[in-house]
Amino acid sequence: MGCTDVAGMVGGPVKQRCKLLFLVTEDWYFCSHRLALGVAAVKAGWEVVVVTQLQSHRHIIEEAGMRVIPWEHKRGSLNPWKTAQTLLQLFWIYRSEQPDLVHHVALKPVLYGGLIASGLGMEQQVNALAGLGWLYSSTKWFAKLLGFLIAPVLRLVLSRGLCLVQNPADRQWVEQLGVSSDRIRMIRGAGVDLQVFQPNSASSSSQSTPTVMLVSRMLRDKGIIESVEASRLLQARGISFRMVLIGEPDLANRDTLHESELMEWQREGLVEWWGRRDDIAKCYAQAEIACLPSSYGEGVPKSLLEAASCGLPIVTTDAPGCREVVRQQENGLLVQVRNPVALADALEILLRDPEIRTRMGQCSRKLAEKEFAVEHIVTQTLALYDELLV
């Protein structure tokens, strides 16, 4: 399909809008993190194609005016034959679609899609690192070895088009990898819908049993174990509270916890595990504190953006990505990575003082409104597309 002249964004000049192809690992991830961007691109005149592995969200993407192409792959697999099949499938998709611009989201799509796009001479690429993930945050020797082997390929890929990062630490890491700084742009996170995620005016921050809520995939590096240990410490201190975990194990990730572990902690009375939920706004309405003591290679955690938008005080780690959402002592508390005692101490401060929770929660909402509204993120990203097509 050739380009057509259509109106740009509201108040903008008439520009040529062409075919935009997203490569994302899972359809649910596209819906949770990039659907608003895709919708805005359609409204701006792009033909939008989403290449992704399908689970149950295809109809949402198609109803939003985008075309979906299934991508068969296995996350976490290092099988050379499967990798070759995945790359060949992408080659045929890219050659058939001939997109004018490709937007690869997260490390694996950046690697695979970037190689294929570059091989086909497609220079208009947005290679978006949504954090460095397990590969470059894990302390395990296997991850370090694999990261070392992949680094030259990643450097090559990120030197094409524009590399998009979400926090200053990741920007520095990409520069140290050898990518020119003029190729790097930073947009902090995927944004949050301020209308969907709103403070719950009916919530009582002074109730006798406040709830601490952690929303994440059930991975070790997301701080789940530290949260369980902090819960144990707080119970020993005689503090009344609930620790709620929301999310499911990710069996494609080597760092995953298993259902049996989560159920055992629940039986001990240390946590309540609610599993996967698609109504996170309603869940946060039942919470007084949001918690994510992550040591994972975060970009800017969407669950923390949603918590801030819901007007919750936040306890998280002083780590790349996480610290982007917290102003220390203003809307939350930052603690050391992998330190359950420090986590318990920070949670105790908020659990014992409803007034601090209320004040910090109000600051969280103001921060979300000022810096993380999804409209701001979408506008910045569409500007990148224009920059590449000039």
Residues 96-116: pLDDT tens digits? 999 999 999 999 999 999 999
pLDDT tens per residue across span 207-232: 579 999 999 999 999 999 999 999 99
**Which one has a higher pLDDT value, 9 or 70?**
70
Give yes or no: residues 383 and 312 share one domain: no
Instruction: Give the range of the structural domain holding residue 27, as residue numbers without chain letter.
Output: 4-191+373-389
pLDDT of residue 148: 80
Q: Are strands 101-105 and 184-186 parallel, antiparallel or unpaired?
A: unpaired
Does 282 reside within a domain? Answer: yes
Per the CB < 8 A criterion, the answer to whether 38 and 22 are in contact is yes
Q: Which residues, at least 6 apart from 142, have a Cβ–Cβ distance to it below 8 Å?
A: none
Q: Count CA atoms within 13 Å of residue 46 on its CB side.
A: 27
pLDDT of residue 76: 62
Average pLDDT over residues 241-247: 98
Average pLDDT over residues 139-157: 81
Q: d(Cα 302, Cα 121) in Å, to the nearest integer? A: 33
Give yes or no: residues 381 and 355 share one domain: no
pLDDT of residue 8: 46
Average pLDDT over residues 191-218: 85
Q: What is the CATH number of the domain that holds 217?
A: 3.40.50.2000
Query: pTM score, two decimals?
Result: 0.90
Q: Are strands 14-17 and 4-7 parallel, antiparallel or unpaired?
A: antiparallel
pLDDT value at 266 more than 80: yes
Give yes or no: residues 219 and 185 share one domain: no
Across the chain, mean pLDDT equals: 91
Give yes or no: residues 169 and 293 share one domain: no
Average pLDDT over residues 278-297: 96
Give yes or no: residues 331 and 361 share one domain: yes
pLDDT of residue 377: 96
pLDDT of residue 208: 75
pLDDT value at 254 more than 90: no
pLDDT of residue 3: 60
- DSSP letter at 344 equals H
Q: Count CA atoms within 13 Å of residue 51 on its CB side.
A: 27
Q: d(Cα 254, Cα 271) in Å, to the nearest integer? A: 23
pLDDT of residue 351: 98
Q: Where are the alpha helices (DSSP H) in 252-353?
A: 259-267, 280-284, 302-309, 340-352
Give yes or no: residues 242 and 385 share one domain: no
User: Closest by alpha carbon to 341, among 201, 250, 231, 259?
Assistant: 231
Is residue 134 very low, low, confident or very high in pLDDT (cuts 50, 70, 90)? low
Q: Which residues, at least 6 apart from 366, have a Cβ–Cβ distance to it below 8 Å?
A: 331
pLDDT tens per residue across span 58-69: 999 999 999 999
Does 205 reside within a domain? Answer: no
pLDDT value at 30 more than 60: yes
Percent of the chain with pLDDT over 90: 81
Average pLDDT over residues 359-364: 98
Does 197 reside within a domain? Answer: no
